[in-house]
Structure 1
Amino acid sequence: MYPIRPVAKQYAWGSYDRLQSMFSSQFEQPCEGPLAEMWFSGHPQWPSLLSVPGRGEISVTDAIREDPEGMVGRRSSDHFGPVLPYLLKVISARIPLSLQVHPVGFEARAGYNAQNAAGVPFDSPLRSFKDPVAKSEMVVAMGPFSASVGFASIPFMLRNLRLVDHPLAARMAQAFASRFAVRARGADDFEEADAMMPVSAAVWPESRKQVFRAFHTAIAAGESDGLLPALEAAATEAANTRSHLAFEHALIAARAFERDASVLSLLMMNPVTLDEGESVFIPAGTPHVYLHGTGAEIMTNSDNVLRAGMTVKHKDIPNLLRTLDCRSGAPINPAATDLVSLMMRDVVVYKPGLEEFMLSYGHVDAKHQQWPMAEQLIRRYGKLAGQIGNGRPLVPREQGPRVLLCTEGAVHCVSAQDERVLVRGQSVFVPAHEGWLTVDAVDCGPDSAHAPFAANGSFIMASTQR
């Protein structure tokens, strides 16, 4: 096991206390300003550092390059190359992040190569494609977490938009009218939006084109007056809980970005609220906004972000629209389907169906009491889940590259070759050659330095899919 030092990212939307408190042991001096993300990274631009006996600190990328089979395993190395195939972050949002989409594979490769050919520096604020990798991601809430993810059904969109007394919302609603009806009223026919549709739109159903036109209307409008009062008035007329939540999310965004017309797009999206331990998976191409909260975020090893609004950073609307998935659908919960089979007494495993990553979120207790979060999930998903894993809580025995972070208290992690006690904010990289891994409560005497943390602890662990 090698201690791993995360890369701190300070963005305007970050928290002033949550990550500073969790990772206080990682800072020699107090962190000033908002802290948004802590990266456990093998990304070529922002790699984390490992503490290796006899060598000091070495980057994750260099360590894997020197010994790919030992660090990530033969299977992972053969499949993904000599890289860490995932990027783990702990994020904390005080105000909303940007409205964004992550590129699918061919768009990521094309955009990366095009920007390289154009000579756009990797550290340029105009650089959208930092690597040629498609980016899908999953977030697991570590407390209350709110987001808007993917497009909702068209009836849901229309009900919301028609409540808003604002010309831009009316224009968005008009995008769902038949082309014949639009022409009959002498209205513009969304020619600009149609010109920006990807080549694949030639085989789209008309409903998907309508979603594209309405979304384009919001993000291409730039700034607009009167959005906040119009949304506040409409929110009082929302007919059901889900619409109320969609307006609540749009209002959060509008208060942070008062004249940004893209906030209206949140009325087209699925409003999501997560309690601790709940999760959502966001495939490449899916529009999303994280509004507030702290969570563990894991993704393919990519830093590609295409932004459309709600940000002071570079917006890349043409590339975003080329990769936008306009299909309606419910948010994807990667824990729900397999919860009964994967949930042990104190560990929940999230498997989104990608080989690159999975995540475990667990709790250890010296008194072996039930984790309250697990009790809540058992009530939600069935009593059978509570009968699984009656013994000691174990992390699934994944022998690929793993990153283990203690998020509260202390944990005792043991592999086939090593063991270590971690306290809150400390983390280790567990290479593939160390084999199996278990996590348990710390068993120590009252004079131990770990005694204040010995009663219990929580952790997250990233790994590749088995």
Structure 2
Amino acid sequence: MFLPITNTPRDYAWGSTTAIADLLGRRPSGRPEAELWLGAHPGSPSVVVAPAVVGGADTLADWFAAEPARALGRDRDHLPFLLKLLAADGPLSIQAHPTPEQAREGFAREDAAGIPLDAPERNYKDSSAKPEIIVALSDTFDALCGFREPTETLADIDLLDDGSGRLDTLRRYLGESLRSTLAFLFQADDDSAATIAAVSELAAAHRADGASVATVVDLAERYPGDPGVVLSLLLNRVTLRAGEALFLPAGNVHAYLGGFGVELMAPSDNVLRGGLTPKHVDVPELLKVLDFEPLPVPRLEPTTVARGVERFAPHGTGFAMLRVDASGPGAVVEIGGPSIVLVTDGEVHVKGQDGTIRLGRGESAFVTPDEVRLAMTGDGTAYVATPA
């Protein structure tokens, strides 16, 4: 069965005022529209377009609770993913997510301490990890992701250095370890404040000298004095082109800087923030979950699994994203359980064993687990989120 779903965009301050509205084919609201969630997450469960079809349930979450076997299958008690449209007109917070073990331990610890789930200082809202895939829909999508080699950061520091000695402390900590460098930046004393100010000031004179330095300048203007300004210099700076993807596993420190994309993740709210945000920052807990191993940009290459079908499926996440080109002869998509189809371009007709649904640009539908093979035709592109 195909069940049309929709939702109201989340109005986080960093959101674009036009990207999601344009995809949905409606007039912009004039407010930031940052994310549109497709799934059953209690923070913003998808709205069922035709509640009468599912016993009057208004949201996917309500239906899953009322008829779990019909909606999810007899072997599942929840949807193992959350699909999002993400439209950033400015940087998100620098953040990382815990491993499954860290999430379970942190959730139990904060529960035992009596910290309410909606408290701003609560780190662990649930006991799950939060691995993420982001695929660019816009022509470019900019991000920071993972620590780069300290020698690369030192090369940028050498570029900025004016010989005054103001960057010597930062250079010394980088020579020790990335962990000690972060601890220094977050210690909030005169030395760290002076280093952040010096990097911000010196970068302004080198705005044209590479994307990493230009990012420092932009972040310093938006968040003056924030440790994340200098932390950005320690991270890989990447620009995705439309259709390219990143995979962000547990421990990967990252921040989306700007662009429009489709994101697939585990349905978790566990975020440890490290800057560029007015929200709660817990430095000791962040340092505990971070993976300090330098790594290349964590690009995720899709695998072609059928004509017109590419699969993004990081190992061990429990979910996969399929990109489907329905043009020409169409495509046949194998799914692994309850799924969601989102059309991002053109029009796509989706045929299953229980009928056909037509989805236009920006429209989406939940697919029940009795469907195992979808025939997709039309002139558009669709993304399918499915259990792996």
Query: What is the TM-score normalised by the length of structure 1?
Result: 0.75
CA distance in 2, matches of 1:459, 1:167: 54
Deviation at 1:305, TM superposition (A): 1.0
User: CA 1:295/1:133 → structure 2, altered by over 3 Å: closer, same or farther?
Assistant: same
SS at match of 1:90: strand
Deviation at 1:169, TM superposition (A): 4.4
The aligned residue for residue 372 of structure 2 is: 435
Q: Which of 359, 363, 367 is the aligned partner of 2:321?
A: 359
Q: Which of 300, 310, 316 is the aligned partner of 1:348?
A: 310
CA distance in 2, matches of 1:411, 1:100: 36
SS at match of 1:461: strand
The aligned residue for residue 53 of structure 1 is: 52
User: CA 1:170/1:87 → structure 2, altered by over 3 Å: closer, same or farther?
Assistant: farther
Structure 2 residue 221 is matched with structure 1 residue 255: yes
SS at match of 1:125: coil
Q: Which of 390, 393, 397 is the aligned partner of 2:330?
A: 393
Question: 1:135-158: per-residue Cα shift (whole Å, max 9, x none)?
Answer: 111100001101010011121122
Deviation at 1:439, TM superposition (A): 1.6
CA contact (8 A) 1:347 1:393 kept: no
**How do 1:97-176 and structure 2 match up within 5 A?**
97-143=92-138, 144-165=140-161, 169-176=167-174
Deviation at 1:44, TM superposition (A): 3.2
Q: Which of 347, 354, 357 is the aligned partner of 1:410?
A: 347
Structure 2 residue 244 is matched with structure 1 residue 281: no
Deviation at 1:159, TM superposition (A): 1.5
Q: Which amino acid aligns with 1:153?
A: E
SS at match of 2:15: coil
CA contact (8 A) 1:102 1:284 kept: yes
Range with bigger deviation, 145-154 or 167-176: 167-176
The aligned residue for residue 6 of structure 2 is: 5
Question: 1:147-176: per-residue Cα shift (whole Å, max 9, x none)?
Answer: 010011121122223333387743232113
Q: Which amino acid aligns with 1:464?
A: P
Deviation at 1:7, TM superposition (A): 4.5
The structure in which a higher percent of residues are helix is: 1
Deviation at 1:101, TM superposition (A): 0.7
The aligned residue for residue 375 of structure 1 is: none
CA distance in 2, matches of 1:398, 1:67: 21
Q: Which of 184, 197, 203 is the aligned partner of 1:231?
A: 203
Deviation at 1:111, TM superposition (A): 2.0
SS at match of 2:98: coil
The aligned residue for residue 178 of structure 2 is: 211
- Indicate the structure (1 or 2) with the bigger Cα radius of gyration: 1
How much identity, in percent, do the aligned residues show? Answer: 31
Structure 2 residue 31 is matched with structure 1 residue 33: yes
User: CA 1:111/1:4 → structure 2, altered by over 3 Å: closer, same or farther?
Assistant: same
Deviation at 1:229, TM superposition (A): 2.8
Stretches of structure 2 lacking an aligned partner (at least 5 in a row): none
Structure 2 residue 363 is matched with structure 1 residue 426: yes
Query: What is the TM-score normalised by the length of structure 2?
Result: 0.89
CA contact (8 A) 1:148 1:249 kept: no
User: CA 1:293/1:343 → structure 2, altered by over 3 Å: closer, same or farther?
Assistant: farther
Stretches of structure 1 lacking an aligned partner (at least 5 in a row): 179-209, 239-243, 369-391, 442-455
